[in-house]
Chains A and B, each alone.
Chain A
Amino acid sequence: MSDMPRRPYRVAIVGGGIVGLFTAYRLLRAGAGPVVVLERGFLSSGASGRNGGGVRQQWDSRVTVRMMREAVQEWRHFGREFGTNVWFRQGGYLFLATTPAEVTRLRQVTEAVRAEGLDGRLLEPSGALRYAPSLSLDGIAGATFLNTDGTLYPFPGVWGVYEAVRALGGEVRLGVEVTGVRTEAGRVVGLSTSEGPVDAAAVVNAAGGWSGDVSRLAGLAVPNVASRHEILATEPLKPFLDPMVIRLADGLYFSQTMRGEVVGGLAVPHPTGTRAGVPTSPAFLRSMSRSLVRLIPALAPVGVLRAWSGYYDDTPDGFPVIGEDPRLPGFFHANGFSGHGFMLSPASSKRVAQSVLGEKTDLDPALFSPGRFLDPHRRGEAEGLQPG
């Protein structure tokens, strides 16, 4: 593809996952000028094509609850805005606690949720059966439920935003790898790629699990860590489970998709970094199956259809990184979304676009700015409710 135009781009976005594409869409809608998205793989080859499709508003931090509430409204209207169905189904999220300490934790989460005006409910174990009758209550000490949480089908989200970006004149270059960040006089002037140089006044690092690698291409040390998470899907069954279910104790999460498959995962330890590729491990198949069958014994004869894995992009405090890097003008971050970047993307992309355009965002710099990790007196707040 030697015909790749080099210039002039207002913004070049590294990564064609949901975050990069949504950011391009917001920028184009705001009339930012020429925008290019550079993606080294195929559409949806990153975490955006590998996730569990969960969308929730139950969090430790009220800031997260608020932004997710906004995202939920966006997902509800996605089909009308973008022309493709993500089948966002608000079947709720059911968190399960197994110890008194976890019950206390869930109570705090429910308080944060209710303080933001959402109908979160703390439940007795038996109350959980109302939402998921197939559960075994063995060992369950309590639960929370929020009926407006839900699940969606991620791929049409990617297709819809991709098509919208192209319809607005944005370019999406597939199979192009970003190999360097070009700077002049201490500010970004473009990128080096496998297809030659690209000139751009601003660069957005939306490389998901590889965002740390991309920041390092620009010579920037960042605390982002790529962690591999495995996930599986069972044979499709007729609908029997409405909510996404999460067990805090082992991080088990699963839901039943619109296609009928039970899709879910649980964290097993893996070395960090992106070197391993995206394999499956026997350890995951074993622990995941054990955990799931313990919770829903009737699933024992149901077949696992396929298993795969993808990368979370983790940050030390569990909040994402959004905004311009104070060390390198013109280099913007849209990363660190851990296991929740898909659900948040309609809301996070607005803030990314605002910051690229030099507008003020509503984000607390102590929680979201790239510079926060450079501050030795940084506030201790963290978003810790990470599973699922």
Chain B
Amino acid sequence: MEPDPPPPPPARPAGHGSPPLTRSTRYHRPRAPFCGVGYCTNCLVRVNGVPNVRSCQYDAAPGEVVEVENAWPSARFDVLAAFDVLFPQGIDTLRGFRRPAFAVPWYQRVVRRLAGTGRLPNPSTARAPSPGRLVTTDFVVVGGGCAGRAAAESLVAAGHRPVVLEREPRTSPVPGAEWFPGTTGVFLPPPRAEALRPFELIARRSDGSALDLRARRVVVAVGGYDASLWFAGSDRPGVLTAEGAERLRPVERPGFDHAVVFGGGPRTLQILERFGNHVEAVVAPGAIDPDVARRASELDVPLFPRTLLLGVVGRRSVRRVRLAPRGGGQPAFSVEADAVVLAHRRLPHPQLFFQAGARMEWRPDVGAYGPTVGPSGATTVPGLAAAGESAGAATPDRARASGVAAANAVLAGGGWPAPDPSPPSALHHELEGYYQELLSTGPGPGKVVVCPCEDVLLGEVLEATERGYRGIEVIKRYTGLGTGLCQGRYCLPDALLVLALREHRTPREVGYITQRPPVVPTALGALAGLPDDPEAAA
């Protein structure tokens, strides 16, 4: 089979009406960049024979072979997209395909063929494991944003040379720190109390190798990300998170002309500042902040506070956005738009804290779990501190202050100031009531794909609860929700809120979302190249 022509260069993919980059696994729905930060499955391509490369994170050089995955003959016209039309209610792989007996092996072959994204890498890409490095140090700071930089600067000022891991490849180092750009901390097991350097941290590098860090103390300042939302067509090209919009739509040549921005808070303000001339409307689940309202009125952008986003209309791209005033009684209406930018909710990255065994607690303000932290950012794991969004800091100033505090916490001698758990709060997250209304209104026609990695439908989740399956862990295993390449980042936070409604419990009671390592997929070749354990050899 001839390789498909290369998709448009990654920096400016899939704008208004431009072709999708790939197709989804089950229903072969068109997929174009969504998150912009390398987590979702919407921009996977095959580069030089290596499958599942996130094009939003990859600068293809001239001469590299970029191929479309999961579509034939092309991502734009994909024969198997017929499945999406033929099975409007979805394909039931759990209970369908059981009869007649003689056909079962045949079903199996077809279903198996449909699964999976990308083919095995070309044998020519086979290489020896990329040799990794062992780095021993006193202090590691994971994340080189506002908070992490502030922490690193404080540590340097105190006469240390901290190791800083920063996911972005092009960032300016903190002078005096050992700076690892393009490096993501992926696994932080619980510390070994008796060891000289109790922490072991595995990190993934952009050159395909891995690091094994041994440290005395760790500051995790890995920030957060913009969440998704459940509505009909939420997986359509043109639906983006705020980060996705920022990353993929440079101001000088935005890929959308008139976007609906969802959310009424600080992220929406940032989007208005950046793309104001290309925003059609601001829609929010609740009230809209006064400074957002002010800026919007300067830009002549209409506001729709307390409004449900029912869905988007358009098969290959967004053409209209269906909205309904909350509170019932008033009819749904549509707004012409070619994009939806989700700016309503930022969630902290909890994985490293959970892996390390830190106590996690429900934060009703964000509607998500985060580590229990004290005033200094200390977690319940001695030697592990949180800073920035991980510690609940919402503004750059607060993030910097929390970085300094975390540095002081890991520098202090004596006992570790283990934090007390926050008292349970009666607060509800804004989206709880929102989803209650959305479910009773019904999101309208079309598939509501709640897990775009695995093409899991809202109906499947609701059916599972009707059958009596309860709790996020079971629903996840029952439906496949959250088991795909993004590891549930974009569906499980909303699933918690929706399941809480269905089960008549609080989201906290619906369960914790287990975070299995690694934080992001890490190549077998990188892990294979990790150096032998020096302590095992000793």
Contacts and interface: CB of A to CB of B under 8 A. Distances in A.
Contacts of A237: 51, 116-120
B530 interface: yes
Contacts of A43: 469, 474
B127 A300 contact: yes
Given A282-B530, A298-B121, A44 B477 contact: yes
Contacts of B516: 280, 306-308
Contacts, number: 192
A83 B98 CA distance: 8
Interface stretch (B104-112, B287-295, B297-305): B104-112
B112 A285 contact: no
A290 interface: yes
A292 B524 contact: yes
B123 interface: yes
A156 interface: yes
Nearest to B104: A79
Interface stretch (A84-92, A212-220, A328-336): A84-92
A239 B116 contact: yes
A346 to B, nearest CB: 16
Contact of A300 (B99, B104, B202, B528): B528
Contact of A134 (B120, B468, B528): B120
A272 interface: no
Contacts of A307: 516-518
B397 interface: no
Nearest to A261: B116
Contacts of A238: 113, 115-120
A98 to B, nearest CB: 18
A259 B115 contact: yes
B140 to A, nearest CB: 15
Given A87-B108, A87-B111, A300-B125, A280 B187 contact: yes
Contacts of A300: 121, 125-129, 523-525, 528
Contacts of A85: 93-98
A297 interface: yes
B487 interface: yes
A298 B125 contact: yes
Contacts of A84: 94-95
Interface string B503-538: 000000001000011101111111110101100100
B478 interface: yes
B524 A302 contact: yes
A235 B111 contact: no
B50 interface: yes
Most buried by B among A80, A163, A239, A286: A286
Nearest to B532: A286
Contacts of B202: 282, 285
A286 B477 contact: no
B189 interface: yes
A258 interface: yes
A292 B528 CA distance: 9
The contact size tier of chain A is 35 or more
A236 B522 contact: no
Interface in B49-92: 50-52
Given A42-B474, A283-B533, A289-B525, A80 B119 contact: no
Contacts of B93: 85, 87
A132 to B, nearest CB: 12
B466 interface: no
A288 B524 CA distance: 9
A354 to B, nearest CB: 28
A373 interface: no
A299 B120 contact: yes
Given A155-B478, A300-B127, A280 B120 contact: no
A299 B527 contact: no
Contact of A282 (B104, B189, B524): B189
Contacts of B484: 236
A292 B474 CA distance: 30
Contacts of A299: 120-121, 524-525
Contact of A301 (B125, B477, B530): B125
A305 interface: yes
Contacts of B463: none
A42 B471 contact: yes
A285 to B, nearest CB: 5
B166 interface: no
A201 interface: no
Given A239-B112, A260-B115, A283-B536, A234 B189 contact: no
Contact of B530 (A155, A259, A285, A303): A285
Contact of B50 (A80, A280, A292, A301): A301
B517 A303 contact: no
A136 to B, nearest CB: 8
A304 interface: yes
A121 B247 CA distance: 55
Contact of A279 (B25, B94, B190, B487): B190
A342 interface: no
A32 interface: no
Interface string A29-63: 00000000000001111000100000000000000
A87 B111 CA distance: 10
Interface string A79-120: 110011101010000000000000000000000000000000
Interface string A147-160: 00000000110010
B224 interface: no
Contacts of A42: 471, 473-474, 511
In the complex, the 4 A-B pairs of residues with the closest C-beta atoms, listed nearest first: A260-B116, A303-B521, A300-B525, A297-B126
Interface of A: 42-45, 49, 79-80, 83-85, 87, 89, 134, 155-156, 159, 163, 166, 174, 234-240, 258-261, 279-283, 285-286, 288-290, 292-294, 297-308
13 contacts: A237-B118, A237-B120, A238-B118, A258-B111, A283-B536, A285-B518, A286-B528, A289-B528, A293-B525, A298-B126, A299-B121, A300-B524, A302-B121
Given A238-B113, A285-B527, A300-B525, 12 more contacts: A42-B474, A87-B93, A87-B108, A159-B469, A235-B52, A236-B116, A239-B113, A239-B115, A280-B189, A285-B187, A301-B208, A303-B522
